[in-house]
A = this chain, B = another copy of it.
């Protein structure tokens, strides 16, 4: 049962969260990342699904009506050591500590940046899959904190450093996420809604110009350093993409 870490095997993930809209969004995104995801909306179903043995890990919202996340965790843990990541909105305090003491593998506060969520999921899965207990500090180094390079543009997600042709750039979180998302898409065009989802962690709203403005600012910073005005191209009526063949 070892060394079946082939990437061809999709990881089956269970999402237990009563927030259907958010669930949709996450499910969609994770699906795109190569995970197979199932969503259930209450604690009851969560427990039974979790214990079915069909899933490699679970994402569990703490705040749920009826059987809350803590109780779900407790009951699942009574029978299973599957990896579990706790999700929670801000505002609940004591429960978190209890959750971790009960054996949650990680804890992620809202707002979820899907990117970060994926990183944590991979970290947890790797820890669970590779059977060697490694070092003490439970930092989540992960496979996708490798540096991203595309032509002269370099991004180091782990260190949160961005540079163009060796010249460092000072980017805000949103600008950084924006550039990171575009680079990961690798010249594929991304819609504004996709960008809003991954960069801002929320769906794009009706008169929402945030992505546009962040894009504008990012472009300015890029141009300041590169002199190149067209590192990022506009796809009119759709979104943006990194200029092919940079």
Contact between B197 and A107, CB atoms less than 8 A apart: yes
Contact between B188 and A107, CB atoms less than 8 A apart: no
Which listed residue (B81, B159, B189) contacts A159, Cβ 8 A? B189
Bound state CA distance, A29 and B78, in angstroms? 9
Bound state CA distance, A241 and B158, in angstroms? 10
Contact between B119 and A173, CB atoms less than 8 A apart: no
Contact indicator per residue, chain A 80-109, by CB within 8 Å of chain B (1) or not (0): 110000000011010011001111011111
Bound state CA distance, A102 and B203, in angstroms? 13
Contact between B173 and A238, CB atoms less than 8 A apart: yes
Bound state CA distance, A203 and B194, in angstroms? 26
With a cutoff of 8 Å between Cβ atoms, the chain B residues found around residue A236 in the complex are 172-173
Contact between A190 and B139, CB atoms less than 8 A apart: yes
Contact between B135 and A159, CB atoms less than 8 A apart: no
A181 interfacial by beta-carbon distance below 8 Å: yes
**Interface extent on A, as a size class?**
35 or more
Contact between A237 and B32, CB atoms less than 8 A apart: no
If A138-B113, A187-B159, A206-B90 touch, does A120 touch B133 (CB 8 Å cutoff)? yes
If A189-B160, A194-B139 touch, does A123 touch B113 (CB 8 Å cutoff)? no
A214 interfacial by beta-carbon distance below 8 Å: no
With a cutoff of 8 Å between Cβ atoms, the chain B residues found around residue A116 in the complex are 136, 138
A127 interfacial by beta-carbon distance below 8 Å: yes
A205 interfacial by beta-carbon distance below 8 Å: yes
A219 interfacial by beta-carbon distance below 8 Å: no
Which listed residue (B97, B189, B193) contacts A107, Cβ 8 A? B193
Distance in Å from the Cβ of A11 to the closest Cβ of chain B?
A: 12
Distance in Å from the Cβ of A90 to the closest Cβ of chain B?
A: 5
| 15 further contact pairs, Cβ within 8 A, besides A96-B202, A106-B136, A136-B144 | A28-B78, A96-B203, A100-B197, A100-B202, A100-B203, A119-B133, A119-B135, A119-B136, A137-B181, A139-B184, A139-B190, A139-B194, A141-B188, A172-B236, A173-B238
Sample (9) of A-B pairs whose CB atoms are under 8 Å apart: A25-B103, A97-B203, A119-B136, A120-B136, A122-B133, A135-B184, A137-B185, A160-B235, A161-B244
